[in-house]
Structure 1
Amino acid sequence: MIDFTNLDYLKSGNERQKRAYEVLKKYQVFEKLKPYSPILAGTIPIEIDVEGSDLDIICEVDLRLEKHFLDDIMFSRLIPVNAENSIVNGEKSIVLNFMLEEFPIEIFGQNKPSAEQDAYQHMIAEYKILKEKGEDFKHKIIELKKQGIKTEPAFGLLMKLENPYEDLLKF
């Protein structure tokens, strides 16, 4: 299985993955986020992205120290950043959205290890399902996403899952 905790796999991926790697390296995104254990999650790592898909970066952030987190990454000094606090699955979260070149970027932080966050767990489950079900299934997921259906619901439709957000965590 791919080690999704290390960005090097992007260097030998498809064109969009290679470009994502270049942009993330150019702006030293993961270097700036290193104290927060960043992981690239979502659709680009598992090659089911569509036009406009963002680079989802999940981080472990002690939200009591949110100001330090924002200061540490310093994106707010480089580019306009929209930061907001929210509750996701009962957990306090911080979400930062901005653009780096052609990529929308979303940095998502929760006070739990990055690899234990739902976004990462969903991606791993989806990766395993894609490997098991093959290219035809992958293309069906991409087609559903092109129609505007989010990733987890797309898997839910094709796999007849009652609650895809919960059910994918069981894989």
Structure 2
Amino acid sequence: MDYQAAIISSAVLDILRAFDPRVVGTLPLGLAVPGSDVDIVCHASEPTILAEAIWAHYRSCDGFVLYQWRALERPLVARFQWGGWPFEVFGDRRPVDQQRGWLHFEIERRLLALDDGRLRNAVARQRSQGIKTEPAFATVLGISGDPYLGLLDLAGESDAQLHLRLSHLMNSSHGIATA
């Protein structure tokens, strides 16, 4: 079963519909490696309600765990297996459009959409060496410092600016073409 079939058969997007669930991460980006999980981000203004919905439907799944921190800035996290796939659900009090996981996914998606294939190949090579997604993008793009913050900085750039950035990297001797 592929990950999309696992999402459908688990009904996770329907069950969590009230929480604006969105699939993010390496699977929809086409950058998965063995062991990649199905990442879902949700808006949980009341984390207890999300926790109850997840508990009610997935508590009997293999590998089920549910973490709910009391600190407001910490997300609720649930993990479980479905259809041979590991799932990880994040519930944050912020709307999904404001969550770092969504913002990282969106900038990565935009960059890959502007790419001619070289960025994707270079990031995939990094991922195959065990590098996490955001650090892999940052390495290939030459972003120094915190890779997570560096990618967030790119989120404010227009597609034209991102395309120009990619063009410069592709034409440099240390950029995407040789990463």
Q: TM-score range by the shorter chain?
A: 0.7 to 0.9
Return the letter of the residue paired with 1:146: S
In the other structure, the counterpart of 1:168 is 151
- TM score, norm. by length of structure 2: 0.76
| CA displacement, residues 122-166 of structure 1 (integer Å, 9 cap, x when unaligned) | 111011112223212211111111111000000111111122211
Return the letter of the residue paired with 2:75: S
Is 1:47 the counterpart of 2:30 in the alignment? yes
Return the letter of the residue paired with 2:129: Q
In the other structure, the counterpart of 1:10 is none
> Higher strand share goes to which structure?
1
3-state secondary structure, aligned to 1:40: strand
Residues 11-160 of structure 1 mapped to structure 2, 5 A cutoff: 19-63=2-46, 65-66=47-48, 68-73=49-54, 74-80=56-62, 81-85=64-68, 91-160=73-142
Task: Compute the displacement of 1:56 (Å).
Answer: 0.4
- Mapped to 1, the partners of 2:136 and 2:81 lie a distance apart of 26
Instruction: Sort the Cα spacing of 1:41 and 1:32 in 2 relative to 1 into closer, same or farther, 3 A.
Output: same
Return the letter of the residue paired with 1:42: G
Instruction: Sort the Cα spacing of 1:150 and 1:87 in 2 relative to 1 into closer, same or farther, 3 A.
Output: farther
Pairwise CA RMSD: 2.1
- Mapped to 2, the partners of 1:59 and 1:104 lie a distance apart of 17
Runs (4 or more) in structure 1 with deviation over 4 Å come to none
2:58–2:80 CA contact under 8 A, matched in 1? no
In the other structure, the counterpart of 2:159 is none
1:70–1:76 CA contact under 8 A, matched in 2? no
Task: Compute the displacement of 1:87 (Å).
Answer: 9.0
How many residues align structurally? 151
- TM score, norm. by length of structure 1: 0.80
Q: Which has the larger radius of gyration?
A: 2
Instruction: Sort the Cα spacing of 1:83 and 1:77 in 2 relative to 1 into closer, same or farther, 3 A.
Output: closer
3-state secondary structure, aligned to 2:32: coil
Return the letter of the residue paired with 2:4: Y
Gaps of 5+ in 1: 1-15
Q: Which moved more, 1:30-39 or 1:19-28?
A: 19-28
2:50–2:91 CA contact under 8 A, matched in 1? no
3-state secondary structure, aligned to 2:74: strand
Task: Compute the displacement of 1:79 (Å).
Answer: 1.4
- Mapped to 2, the partners of 1:24 and 1:100 lie a distance apart of 8
1:23–1:100 CA contact under 8 A, matched in 2? yes
